[in-house]
Structure 1
């Protein structure tokens, strides 16, 4: 397994320059969050060129529009077709720079709780998106979220459900993202972990959250990472694991200042390295 990479979600309080400097100092790769780019198209392209020229390896992309259906965190536009078109544009934005990488996506939800509508609509739209990604030389990675986000941001709350949707989409450029923060309490996770079409893994530690954005540094929570990383290694997964920490609206936010965030990153990298060695 590769060394632990960083998501720009984790480094939200830092500038792009600080992100790149941190990755170079720690020898780790980076997951790009499109929302961290400038809203100005020309400036955003300059930023992408800056990332490319830095020599930092890129693992994956979190597009600005994450879901096919609206989500509580991003309700607009409400039309799934428009959201699909935005996802397709994100594929086109990144493909000249990092061909082959996965863009991460969630399903979104229906405000009335019509999960069947979301499921059927996502399968249809993801088939279109997968074909587009293949033409652009990219991949799409579907992520299941935690039960607390069911019918708010997603209709998938177990990894096996994401696997079932990926099977329904049935395209070689459409696969999976496993977020262990969201999935670790799934009783069937250890038996459902598979390297088949698993494009990326995300990590953060869990303690009983006090806000929707209360993820912890690795080692500061309850997730049995040693067993889970061991299961990933046993499955044959040799891809990237990415640290994705949200931390706000709590009194000990890891985003309170740069030193606190960097300390959490360094702690997480050290813990991941230890667990990976023992897990394998």
Structure 2
């Protein structure tokens, strides 16, 4: 475990999304994150066994981990390429409520991550209006169960297949329209780093940032092609500092997708992916801070 603590520690606890270790089982995720000195986990519901989910979720506390956020099995209002079924929006909402109802006792106070889904026939306006309406209703249900909701704008490459919004500003327009205290923003650097005026937009989001996710960028070779933090071209240190200045106190979750590419990280040593991710975050933070001080 000695090499996992190199560099200058970032000012957020580091969490690992279970999407980062997709080939592992839920049990392997919990055991190996703890073994590597990770203290937080972003739970992906799809990894849970419907017959054993309570037993599985109890493992988190047993291994001295805490939940940073939850990725529900159905997390979009409209159908999407990643989650095409069920097609009907109200069936999707019913499934999402079911997820909140059964997982919230193990994730008190945690954000459940959502995005709009694909606009049907390219009708972005209708998808945005539907999202506002249903988020207002869902927010009350979530509040009754002691959890929050975090809306995630996706990268422009996901438009019309996964999402109707691709900028922080668009997400914040929805969040402001919903106007519920437990509805905020999921900020994923991979998705938003190319936004115009990204630092200003992060600053404007302020205390509405509920979730922070990080990976790194190369020109994608598939819809799931992300890199270990520090291995790509995102100015991670600068963006971490911008988030820190908003007063954000939550976790920094490493969320890496790596499928349908010849050099998939999923085919490598995933323990090493976690080690390199933590070191990459700390090095990015340390280099930016040291550069700022020396100027």
TM-score, length basis structure 1: 0.95
Cα distance in 2, alignment partners of residues 215 and 69 from structure 1:
24
Three-state SS of the structure 2 residue aligned to 1:35 is: helix
| Stretch of structure 1 that moved more, 164-173 or 189-198 | 189-198
Q: Report how many residues are paired.
A: 276
CA displacement at 1:26 relative to structure 2: 2.5
Any stretches of 5+ residues in structure 2 without a counterpart?
1-10, 290-295
Cα distance in 2, alignment partners of residues 44 and 156 from structure 1:
32
What are the superposed Cα offsets for residues 146-186 of structure 1, whole Å, 9 maximum, x if unpaired? 00111111111001111111001110011110010010011
Any stretches of 5+ residues in structure 1 without a counterpart?
none
Q: Is the 8 A contact 1:198 1:237 kept in 2?
A: yes
Three-state SS of the structure 2 residue aligned to 1:201 is: strand
Q: Is the 8 A contact 2:16 2:42 kept in 1?
A: yes
Q: Is the 8 A contact 2:175 2:184 kept in 1?
A: yes
2:223 counterpart of 1:221? no
Cα distance in 2, alignment partners of residues 153 and 225 from structure 1:
24
Which residue does 2:45 correspond to in 1?
34
2:63 counterpart of 1:54? yes
Q: Is the 8 A contact 2:17 2:43 kept in 1?
A: yes
Segments ≥4 residues shifted beyond 6 Å = none
2:263 to 252, 257, 266: 252
CA displacement at 1:27 relative to structure 2: 2.2
Q: Is the 8 A contact 1:111 1:152 kept in 2?
A: no
Which residue does 2:17 correspond to in 1?
7
Q: Is the 8 A contact 2:230 2:284 kept in 1?
A: no
2:30 to 8, 12, 20: 20
Which residue does 1:73 correspond to in 2?
82
Which residue does 1:176 correspond to in 2?
185
| Stretch of structure 1 that moved more, 84-93 or 62-71 | 84-93
Cα distance in 1, alignment partners of residues 197 and 75 from structure 2:
26
What are the superposed Cα offsets for residues 5-44 of structure 1, whole Å, 9 maximum, x if unpaired? 1000101111222212222122221100000111x3x312
2:275 counterpart of 1:266? yes
CA displacement at 1:79 relative to structure 2: 1.2
Cα distance in 2, alignment partners of residues 100 and 199 from structure 1:
11
Cα distance in 1, alignment partners of residues 36 and 285 from structure 2:
17
Q: Is the 8 A contact 1:226 1:275 kept in 2?
A: yes
Three-state SS of the structure 1 residue aligned to 2:91 is: helix
What are the superposed Cα offsets for residues 110-159 of structure 1, whole Å, 9 maximum, x if unpaired? 23101111011111111111000000000000000000111111111001
Cα distance in 1, alignment partners of residues 127 and 107 from structure 2:
30
Which residue does 1:212 correspond to in 2?
223
CA displacement at 1:50 relative to structure 2: 2.1
CA displacement at 1:279 relative to structure 2: 4.5
Which residue does 2:210 correspond to in 1?
199
TM-score, length basis structure 2: 0.90
Q: Is the 8 A contact 1:166 1:174 kept in 2?
A: yes
What are the superposed Cα offsets for residues 226-259 of structure 1, whole Å, 9 maximum, x if unpaired? 11111111221121110000001111100014x2
